[in-house]
Amino acid sequence: MNKKEYTAEHIEVLTGLEPVQKRPGMYTDTNNPNHLAQEAIDNSVDEAISGFATKIDIILKKDGSLVVIDNGRGMPVDKHPKEKLTGVEVIMTKLHAGGKFSNKSYEFSGGLHGVGVSVINALSTKVDIQIKRNGKSHTISFKDGKKSAPLKVTGKIPQKETGTSIQFWPNKKFFDSIQFTKSFLLRSLKAKAILCQGLTVTFLDEKTKEQQTWCFKEGLEKFLSDGIQSPILPEEPFTGEFKSDNEAVIFAICWTPEVSTEVAESYVNLIPTIQGGTHVNGLRTGLLEAIRGFAEMRNLIPRGVKINNEDIWENCNYIMSVKLREAQFLGQTKEKLTSRQCASFISGVIKDSLTLWLHKHVKVAEEITALVVENAQKRQRSRQKITRKKITSGPQLPGKLTDCVNSDPKNCELFLVEGDSAGGSAKQARDKEYQAVMPLRGKILNTWEVDTNQILNSQEVHDISVAIGVEPGSSDISKLRYHKICILADADSDGQHIATLLCALFMKHFRNLVELGHVYISLPPLYRIDVGKEVHYALDDDEKQGILDSIATKKKTAKITVQRFKGLGEMNPIQLRDTTMNIDTRRLLQLTVTNHNKAIAIMDMLLAKKRAADRKQWLESKGDLANID
């Protein structure tokens, strides 16, 4: 048999914008170019946040292109000392290049990866840029990510006239549709104007001649109350703001006694975080601690009733805008904040300010407390109807399962933990009220090619099935004992292998659980980085390097120590709780399948014994890539 040679010449090095063009899904949402629009708009908003821009104009052209214009400082046009290119060329053609890694140019900004506008350039057929700066007007053009017309001065302008205009045409080969969603743009632009008071934002659709302008002088409370159709408590939303050297927050909160939540919006550096994150977790914790403290002090909680997050959250409406110097997001689309320190910052601010407000407005505070207590009583009454803990028929629960106290599946989580050692730490790290832990020994059976009727012969699979209360292959999940099943394995390659085998088990034999969103993958850190008294955690090598680069830009003199965790068992319970199990600071990915046939094909190639040859070929050609396609 002829073996394919594998030498240094087979190693492919992607340069410039090639990584984006080869794997666009890693950098943007490829359904449509809305995220590209967001990146361009966010750059202009960053100028406004820092006080350099007062106006942003967005024009949706007849030919499908988008123009974003601001009156900020204008992109740099001088030569970069190391790259020997003009500043605008570096920004547009180099990944991880920008003025937002340190705090020299921007106090707060949404662009922290340095890949925003360069992604626009990579995924557009054409980009035209006009820069007004230093009394001159400049233009430069790009085609398919490469410079097509050099930077040149096109005329003189008043010295005080500054700003940047960027027009781009999305490339249809990278997107399912190259149409911008106008409703998305309008909603996003209005939010930017509201959150950045005094900023004038104008939108024009050339095709329909529709034009809208937003400029808000009023606070968030007006925006929140206008968005709610039901009576609210209090009648004027509770508001507050706080700013430190590295963080700032402004918020408006109220409750709707008659209906569930109507408005729940969070932003980080004016970027909408649709999936929430650690800042929203901090908000929830702060609200709970403040209201619980007020209620306990005034003896407003009946005996036997315990208030939890769900009771506070059920009717809570909020708008919260957070600004962070070192914001970390889950993915380039920035829909979820993962900065762990933000949770404690927000919870502290909310708890202190709401506690003070509740004691100043006792009558309304008692009404809010009564609503929360009523929610708790409803929850407890419904829980009494559920017999999750006591199984009177069927197999006995596995002996290695350490169950939780709560008996309502909606509020319970099961952690399937790799190894007895890590399982022991997880048991100490958990919140026993709602978190259960079951350790697994080593790699479980590869069940991808095993018949559903046979997989219960594996003791580990049998125990998992009994613990969760669902039979393999069954569509009946009425006896599901936990609404969150979290796979918790080591952050190294062996742990990822175990996590893959567990994902395969659920996808193949418990498909209904995956489709209904009950399966999650925990993301424990691989590294701990100590900088003096500061502690940082990194998921992988790339995040570690990003943290080290960030520390280097601050020129801190403290000693830097990097620890690589050999496994979960090496982490003490406090570290495991703070990084992996605490709802406010953990990172948890939901296992979702957007294209079932494609997912099955990929898993089959990775796990089927009969596909060994295909697997080898894939590893040789794509094994160094993060995504599979």
The set of catalytic residues is 418, 490, 492, 494
Residue 186 CB-density burial (10 A; 0-12 exposed, 13-18 middle, 19+ buried): middle
Q: Where are the alpha helices (DSSP H) in 207-306?
A: 220-226, 278-297
- Contacts by residues 324-328 (CB-CB < 8 Å, ≥ 24 positions apart): 324/108, 324/246, 324/247, 324/268, 324/269, 325/103, 325/107, 325/108, 325/246, 325/247, 326/112, 326/246, 326/550, 327/110, 327/112, 327/268, 327/269, 328/112
**Cα 119 from Cα 22, distance rounded (Å):** 12
Q: How far is 481 from 621, CA to CA, in rounded Å? A: 43
DSSP letter (8 states) at residue 578: I
Closest CA to 320 of 238, 228, 215: 238
The residues, ordered by sequence, that sit 6+ positions from 581 with a Cβ below 8 Å of its Cβ are 415, 426, 429, 430, 431, 435, 522
Distance CA 80, CA 72 (A): 20
User: What does the alpha-carbon distance between residue 35 and residue 120 come to, in Å, rounded to a whole number?
Assistant: 9
Q: What is the 3-state secondary structure (H, E, C) of 354-398?
A: HHHHHHHCHHHHHHHHHHHHHHHHHHHHHHHCCCCCCCCCCCCCC
Cβ-based neighbours of 308, under 8 Å, separated by 6 or more: 288, 376, 379, 411, 433
- Both tokens of 315, joined, read 């009717």
Side-chain-side CA neighbours of residue 379 (13 Å)? 23
Identify whether the C-beta of residue 542 lies closer than 8 Å to the C-beta of residue 525.
Answer: no
What's the distance, Cα to Cα, between the start and end of the chain in Å?
28
Retrieve residue 81's tokens: 């000392």
Q: What are the CA-CA distances from residue 254 to residues 47, 287, 496, 550 (Å)? A: 31, 11, 42, 37
Distance CA(312)–CA(309), nearest Å, equals 5
Distance separating alpha carbons of residues 75 and 137, to the nearest angstrom: 11
Instruction: Return the structure tokens found at 261.
Output: 């939540």
Q: Which of 407, 401, 411 is nearest to 384 (CA)?
A: 407
Which candidate, 217, 452, 459, 251, places its Cα nearest to that of 357? 251
- Residue 368 · residue 357 · CB < 8 Å: no
User: At 104, phi and psi to the nearest 5?
Assistant: -70, -40
What gap in Å lies between CA 558 and CA 351, rounded to an integer? 32
